[in-house]
Amino acid sequence: MTASLSVNLNAIAMLRNRRDLPWPSVIGLGRIALAGGASGLTVHPRPDERHIRFTDLPEIRALIDDEFPQAEFNIEGYPTADFLDLVSKNEPEQVTLVPDDPAQATSDHGWDLNKHSEFLAAVIQQLKRQSARVSLFIDPDPDAPALAKALGADRVELYTGPYGAAHNDPRLEALELDKLAKTAEAAAKAGIAVNAGHDLTVANLPALVKGVPNLVEVSIGHGLTADALTYGMSRAVERFMNALQV
C-alpha cells in the first residue's frame, strides 16, 4: 500500500499574506498539486489567520468538489468553538485535532491523551455526527494509539518533527525513526490507521515508509513548498509521490 499525499497550503498562504495581493494563489497552486496527483489538500487555520484565511476554506472546498471530487480536504487545528464552526461550514473529509497554542509558530507536540481524554472524546463525537474522519496528532508513544482508538478517533497522525530535525545526524535520525516505527506497530495492533506529518522531505520519506509500512497518509507543507520553489509545484508533487513509493 502506498501512502497518499495531502499538500498543506499554509506556507503558500503565509507567503501570499506578506502583501495585500492575491499571489501566490492558494487556490491556483492547490489546483496544480491536485492535478499533479496529490490525494488531498490540508490547511491549518489559526485564530489570527497568519497563514490560511478563513475565507480560503470555502474556495478550497469548491475547488475539490467542482474539479477533483476524488480528493480530500483535511482541516487541522485546535478544537475551539470557532474552529469547530469552520469545520461544520466547510465539511472536510478529515479533521486532524492538534494541541496548538494560538501563539505557536507551528505544531510542535502531540496530545496528552490521558489529560485531555474527556475533552477529546466529546469533540470526536461531535465531529463524527458530521461524518468527518478524525485523526489525533500524537508524539511517538506506543501507548498513544490504543488510547486514541478508545476515544473514538479513526486515525493518529505521528508528529515527525524530531525525525525531520535530525536530517544531519544519522544516528539520531535512526533513533527517531525507531520511535515512530514502534508507535505505528502499536497502532496496527490497536486497529487504528496511521498518518504522519511535519518536516518530511523527499530525502527522509523513503526510510519512513519502510519503517512504517502501515502508513496511510502524509501531510506535507513546508518541505514540499520549498521544493516547489526549485522545481515548480507539479514536479515537487511528483518528487514526493515517488519518494512514497518504496
Q: Is the Cα torsion angle 229, 29, 49, 194 positive or negative in sign?
A: negative
Q: Is 17 exposed, middle or buried (0-12, 13-18, 19+ CB in 10 A)?
A: middle
* Among 51, 157, 173, 198, the one annotated catalytic: 198
Exposure b/e, 216-238, CB count within 10 A at least 16 = b: bbbbbbbbbbebbeeeebbebbe
Is 76 one of the catalytic residues?
Answer: yes
Is 173 one of the catalytic residues?
Answer: no
56/28 Cα distance (integer angstroms): 12
Is 198 one of the catalytic residues?
Answer: yes
Cα–Cα distances (Å) from 92 to 43, 54, 73, in that order, read 10, 14, 5
41/64 Cα distance (integer angstroms): 9
Of 35, 40, 48, the C-alpha closest to 4 is 40
* Among 44, 72, 157, 217, the one annotated catalytic: 44
Q: Which residues contact 203 (CB under 8 A, 6 or more apart)?
A: 167
* Among 76, 157, 176, 217, the one annotated catalytic: 76
Of 107, 95, 106, 108, the C-alpha closest to 42 is 95
Contact call for residues 138 and 184 (beta carbons, < 8 A): no
Q: What are the catalytic residues?
A: 44, 76, 198
